């Protein structure tokens, strides 16, 4: 084989490698990876706790939502709001450790998010009633950024204004007319 033949083989091989490369991963693949990592983490946790649960993965507005359900009451211990928040943070850390990227996933266990949304709706209704009765503001208790976002949306639906105030664990929402 001559030097020119070798160069042609090398050039062909390099071109084939470029053409044969898998396309770069887009955001959808990354989201799927995040979801799979999170689901595996939760599944392993359920196994350790000897609990059965079905895991559903959904993506909305670029955010992964993991929902864990069961047919009975087995998940009620894990479905407490503080427990769900802690498990969500642990799951986010597990995803971040593997991907190197910050995760914004939302975890729902046994309908805990729906129950909390209903509770937040009651808080907003009470705050609006206080303002309509003459108060200039109504402060809600401290809550997570996700819950504050839900509250802001609920308040806006009622035609009122809300702002988050405070720092860290004391960050809360204040409703005004």
Percent over 70 (pLDDT), the chain: 82
Beta bridge partners of 63: 60
- In terms of pLDDT, which residue wins out, 25 or 175? 175
Find all residues with CB under 8 Å of 31, minimum gap 6, and list them.
59, 62, 64
Give the pLDDT confidence of 105-147 residue by residue, as tens digits.
999 998 888 888 899 999 999 999 999 999 999 999 999 888 8
Measure the CA dihedral 142/145/149/150, to 10°.
Answer: -70
- 90 pLDDT tier (thresholds 50, 70, 90): very high
Find all residues with CB under 8 Å of 153, minimum gap 6, and list them.
none
Find all residues with CB under 8 Å of 109, minimum gap 6, and list them.
53, 67, 68, 75, 78, 79, 83, 84, 87
Specify whether the CB–CB gap between 148 and 164 falls below 8 A: yes
- In terms of pLDDT, which residue wins out, 58 or 82? 58
Mean pLDDT of 75-97: 90
Find all residues with CB under 8 Å of 58, minimum gap 6, and list them.
64, 65, 67
Look at residue 159 in the predicted model and tell me its pLDDT: 94
Specify whether the CB–CB gap between 110 and 103 falls below 8 A: no
Specify whether the CB–CB gap between 144 and 92 falls below 8 A: no
C-alpha span between 165 and 174 (Å, rounded): 7
**Mean model confidence pLDDT for the chain:** 82
Look at residue 130 in the predicted model and tell me its pLDDT: 95
Q: Taking 70 as the threshold, does the pLDDT of residue 20 lie above it?
A: no
Provide the 10 A C-beta neighbour count for residue 139: 14
Mean pLDDT of 148-171: 94
pTM for the full model?
A: 0.66
Look at residue 32 in the predicted model and tell me its pLDDT: 52
Please count the CA atoms within 13 angstroms of the CA of 24 that sit on its side-chain side. Answer: 2
Look at residue 7 in the predicted model and tell me its pLDDT: 43
């Amino acid at each position: 084989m001559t030097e020119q033949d070798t160069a042609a083989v090398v050039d062909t091989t390099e071109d084939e490698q470029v053409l044969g490369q898998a396309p770069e991963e887009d955001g959808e693949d990354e989201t799927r990876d995040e979801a799979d990592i999170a689901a595996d983490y939760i599944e392993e946790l359920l196994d350790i706790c000897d609990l059965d649960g079905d895991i559903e993965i959904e993506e909305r507005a670029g955010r992964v939502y993991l929902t864990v359900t069961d047919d009975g009451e087995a998940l009620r211990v894990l479905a407490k709001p503080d427990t769900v928040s802690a498990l969500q943070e642990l799951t986010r850390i597990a995803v971040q450790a593997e991907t190197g990227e910050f995760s914004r996933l939302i975890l729902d266990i046994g309908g805990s998010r729906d129950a909390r949304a209903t509770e937040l709706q009651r808080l907003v209704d009470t705050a609006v009633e206080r303002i309509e009765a003459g108060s200039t503001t109504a402060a809600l208790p401290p809550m997570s950024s996700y819950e504050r976002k839900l509250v802001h949306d609920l308040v806006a639906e009622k035609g009122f204004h809300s702002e988050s105030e405070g720092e860290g664990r004391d960050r809360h929402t204040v409703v005004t007319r």
